[in-house]
Amino acid sequence: MEFLNALITSWPTLVKGLTVTLSLTALTLVFSVILGGIIVALKMSKIRALSAFATAYLAIVRGVPLIALLFVIYFGIVSIVKVDAFAAAAIGLSVHSSAYVAEIFRSGINSVHNGQIEASRSLGMSRVATMSKVVAPQALRVVVPALVNQAIISLKDSAVASFITVDELFMSAQRLSAATFQPLTYYAIVSLYYLAIVGAMTYFSGRVERYFEKRG
Partner 1 sequence: MINTASLTTTPRVTITGAVKKFGDTTVLDGIDLQVRSGEVAVLIGPSGAGKSTLLRCINGLERLTAGTVDIDGVRLEYRESALNHMREHVGMVFQSFNLFPHLTALENITMAQTRVSKRSKADARDRGMALLARVGLAGKADSYPSALSGGQQQRVAIARALAMTPKLMLFDEPTSALDPELVGEVLQVMRELADEGMTMVVVTHEMRFARQVADHVVLLADGGIVEEGPPEKVLDAPESERARSFLSQIRADD
Q: Which residues bind partner 1 (CB under 8 A)?
A: 113, 115-116, 118-127, 129, 133-134, 137-138, 215-216
For residue 32, which of 139, 134, 143 has the smallest C-alpha distance? 143
The secondary structure element, H or E, covering residue 72 is helix 66-80
> In this complex, which beta carbon is closest to partner 1, that of residue 138 or of residue 182?
138
d(CA 99, CA 47): 20
CA 107 to chain centre: 17
10 Å CB burial of residue 123 (0-12, 13-18, 19+) is exposed
> In this complex, which beta carbon is closest to partner 1, that of residue 12 or of residue 115?
115
d(CA 47, CA 29): 28
Q: C-beta of 104: minimal distance to partner 1 in Å?
A: 19
Q: C-beta of 147: minimal distance to partner 1 in Å?
A: 18
> In this complex, which beta carbon is closest to partner 1, that of residue 55 or of residue 116?
116
Q: C-beta of 206: minimal distance to partner 1 in Å?
A: 21
> In this complex, which beta carbon is closest to partner 1, that of residue 71 or of residue 212?
212
Q: C-beta of 43: minimal distance to partner 1 in Å?
A: 20
CA atoms within 13 A on the CB side of 216: 0
> In this complex, which beta carbon is closest to partner 1, that of residue 45 or of residue 138?
138
Contact residues for 119 (Cβ-Cβ < 8 A; gap 6+): 134
Q: C-beta of 121: minimal distance to partner 1 in Å?
A: 7
